[in-house]
Structure 1
């Protein structure tokens, strides 16, 4: 799993046009480490989230059946999650909590990495949960 995060971080570095000094300085400021190989998964997630806040978008090939981070299914999953939170069924409204739920249902660590089929499974699971309340 670490290797996927490391690959995404290096893609983000390229997309954001970061030179090596700037990149290493950013890693050091966030995790106190200068190499992704020395980081834990949690630290890699922090780096990736920082890059996302700077404009990095997770995209994938259409051939793989993966969806991009801006697809409507992500909005649907978030809206169902927040509706359950508003109903008092969920205490943690965060993206991290959504990703934990997605991982429990599909085994995929980050919602943005879901295939269309996996996203449908998560959506149906959340709809079923809503129907029970």
Structure 2
């Protein structure tokens, strides 16, 4: 989009933000720049119209930055696998039990293939199981 179109967009946004009806808007254009339509404005007149809208109380807000948020650091995978192993040993269960949990919870065949968030959920489930059976965490 070129500069002229961006400036004209600002004029129309200001009209909307200020709540101007069409007749009031056109009278401001006529008073400030001597035209009835924004398409007839030259660059200098566009500046004058924007300055008039600013005088009337309109402030331009910066465009929102789009994009993805920075990823949050994942918990240490090795640490989580160690916790899973400790819960299994304490409950005297095999890795096949944990693989079955991974399949039921996440539709993933092996615990080793879980991502850190899934591993965290598995540790939470094993913690709940330990409490339910009266084992320490």
Q: TM-score, normalised by structure 2?
A: 0.45
Please identify the structure whose Cα radius of gyration is greater: 2
Q: TM-score, normalised by structure 1?
A: 0.46
Q: Which has the higher contact order (CA 8 A, sep 6+)?
A: 1
